[in-house]
């Protein structure tokens, strides 16, 4: 580790280059998670429903997970050539369209890859190589995936929120971001805070304002950032979500009764407070 610290100090530009390439590669994998994890969950729920209805019925399905089948076009399902799968660059060379069928490739793919690369470099400029930097990179990767999945599907999968919570407690065993005591209290308070808001709103209006995934994401952020960050985190997320949602629906003429994705705003707020712990407004 000392050698890596010395390398980052002696060659800062090269170190930033390493982090940017790592971020691009991780971002490419995050796109796989963002696309496939909701599909995997839907397949699992469908199988469980069939089992409950039909008893011991078992339906053989082709393997589908984060590793198989290999990357393919979402439109025509042709495998993507390695030269076209280079993060960001492949999308630019193809001008945002698939080589096989000329159908548009969503902007989300290069944006996730570029954002991950930029945030990894930003984290590397703030923390030297070590536990804190590793933790920051891990948290940022999880938050990017969760924000994108929730924005597209209104889901915050337990497969991501629960490991994120335990990783936050683990990383803070060494007081990487906050003392362990603050992390434990943050996890409990984060969950209970939104749980109370949910039930108060449901009791008064009869409507669901939040999902259980929001409770778990805030609990995970409390485990990483400590209970002291929770008031700022919730207020920042609520204000950001309210302003942007009002602007979006005003411009698009949307229905204000439609459900909102609160997870992306929690993720963005968590990222801001990771970089600027004392952020206030």
Give residue 76's pLDDT: 80
In a shared domain, residues 47 and 6? yes
Task: Compute how many other C-beta atoms are within 10 angstroms of the C-beta atom of residue 198.
Answer: 17
Domain span at residue 74 reads: 1-129
Quote the number of domains for the chain.
Answer: 2
The Cα-based distances of 22 to 68, 87, 115, 137, 196 in angstroms read: 22, 11, 12, 10, 40
In a shared domain, residues 68 and 165? no
Residue appearing with tokens 């497969």: 159
Q: d(Cα 40, Cα 76) in Å, to the nearest integer?
A: 20
* Helix segments in 129-179, DSSP class H: 131-153, 158-171
Give residue 246's pLDDT: 78
In a domain? residue 96: yes
Tens-digit pLDDT profile for the chain (281 aa)?
A: 788 889 898 999 999 999 999 999 999 999 999 999 999 998 888 877 776 665 555 555 678 888 888 888 777 878 888 888 889 999 899 888 888 888 888 999 999 999 999 999 999 999 999 999 999 999 999 999 999 999 999 999 999 999 999 999 999 999 999 999 999 999 999 999 999 988 887 788 877 767 889 999 999 999 999 999 999 999 999 998 888 777 777 776 655 566 678 999 999 999 999 999 866 55
In a shared domain, residues 125 and 159? no
SS3 194: helix
Give residue 72's pLDDT: 80
Give residue 55's pLDDT: 58
Give residue 54's pLDDT: 57
Give residue 269's pLDDT: 96
In a domain? residue 143: no
Q: d(Cα 80, Cα 134) in Å, to the nearest integer?
A: 31
């Amino acid at each position: 580790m000392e050698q890596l610290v010395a390398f980052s100090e002696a060659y800062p530009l090269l170190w930033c280059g390493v982090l940017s390439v790592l971020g691009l590669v991780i971002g490419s994998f995050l796109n796989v998670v963002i696309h496939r994890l909701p599909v995997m969950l839907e397949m699992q729920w469908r199988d469980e429903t069939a089992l409950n209805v039909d008893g011991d019925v078992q339906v053989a399905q082709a393997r589908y997970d984060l590793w198989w089948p290999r990357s393919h076009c979402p439109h025509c399902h042709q495998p993507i050539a390695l030269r076209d799968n280079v993060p960001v660059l492949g999308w630019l060379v193809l001008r945002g369209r698939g080589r096989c069928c000329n159908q548009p490739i969503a902007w989300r793919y290069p944006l996730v890859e570029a954002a991950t690369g930029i945030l990894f470099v930003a984290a590397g400029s703030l923390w030297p190589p070590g536990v804190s930097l590793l933790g920051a990179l891990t948290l940022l990767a999880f938050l990017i995936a969760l924000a994108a999945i929730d924005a597209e599907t209104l889901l915050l999968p337990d497969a991501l929120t629960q490991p994120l919570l335990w990783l936050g407690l683990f990383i803070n065993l060494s007081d990487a971001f906050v003392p362990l005591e603050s992390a434990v209290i943050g996890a409990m308070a984060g969950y209970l805070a939104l749980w109370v808001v949910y039930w108060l709103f449901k009791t008064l209006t009869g409507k669901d304002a939040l999902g259980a995934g929001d409770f778990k994401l805030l609990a995970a952020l409390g485990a990483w950032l400590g209970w002291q960050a929770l008031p700022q985190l919730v207020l920042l997320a609520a204000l950001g979500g309210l302003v942007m949602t009002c602007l979006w629906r005003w411009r698009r003429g949307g229905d204000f009764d439609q459900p909102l994705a609160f997870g992306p705003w929690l993720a963005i707020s968590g990222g801001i407070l990771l970089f600027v712990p004392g952020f206030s407004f």
